[in-house]
């Protein structure tokens, strides 16, 4: 490769915009694996690399909890809980639009669709909502329902209390 061509390639690569880390517009739940691209056990550094450095911090939470939303003071997005600098739980906030799970399961689905499409789930009653859970391989997948509609998704350690 000629020196001029090499210099042009380097300049082009350096001037290309870097892929911006951000909350996905239509996040995906991969049961037992990830939510919005975040997995249990990942480092805080990895979360910031994936979702960006703009997040709110919960001041009254037991664990360090970061809130990634679509814009400042927006309620919808993703919460990431950290224990000893590692992801210990991740869950959606306020039914972000477009978020989905396999088999066409979308936030807003009715309870019958959740139980049909998500497989065998155990209901856990919480104060103002229900959590339907599935434990497998050290990870608890949670489907949050309120007023018989799917409101959110979550991942946490198997056996953890899904009532937040």
Backbone φ, ψ for residue 50 (5° rounding): -75, -40
Q: pLDDT tier at 73 (50, 70, 90 boundaries)?
A: confident
pLDDT over threshold 70, residue 91 = yes
Q: For 114-141, how does the pLDDT look when each residue is reduced to its tens digit (9 = 90+)? A: 999 999 999 999 999 999 999 999 999 9
Classify burial at 23, counting beta carbons within 10 Å of its beta carbon; exposed 0-12, middle 13-18, buried 19 or more: buried
pLDDT over threshold 50, residue 45 = yes
pLDDT at site 18: 42
User: Stretch 36-49: mean pLDDT, rounded?
Assistant: 98
User: Stretch 52-67: mean pLDDT, rounded?
Assistant: 94
pLDDT at site 149: 96
Instruction: Tell me yes or no: is domain 19-157 CATH 3.40.190.10.
Output: no
Q: How many CB atoms lie within 10 A of CB 46?
A: 15
């Amino acid at each position: 490769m000629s020196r001029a061509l090499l210099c042009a390639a380097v300049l082009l690569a350096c001037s290309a915009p870097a892929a911006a880390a951000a909350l996905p517009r239509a996040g995906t739940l991969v049961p037992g694996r990830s939510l919005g691209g975040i997995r249990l056990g990942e480092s805080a550094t990895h979360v910031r690399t994936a979702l960006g450095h703009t997040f709110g911090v919960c001041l009254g939470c037991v664990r360090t909890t970061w809130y990634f939303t679509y814009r400042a003071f927006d309620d919808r997005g993703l919460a990431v809980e950290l224990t000893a600098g590692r992801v210990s739980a991740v869950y959606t906030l306020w039914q972000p639009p477009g978020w989905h799970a396999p088999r066409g399961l979308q936030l807003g689905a009715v309870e019958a669709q959740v139980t049909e499409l998500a497989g065998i789930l155990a209901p856990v009653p919480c104060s103002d909502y229900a959590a339907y859970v599935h434990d497998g391989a050290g990870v608890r997948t949670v489907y949050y329902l309120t007023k018989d509609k799917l409101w959110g998704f979550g991942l946490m350690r198997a056996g953890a209390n899904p009532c937040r």
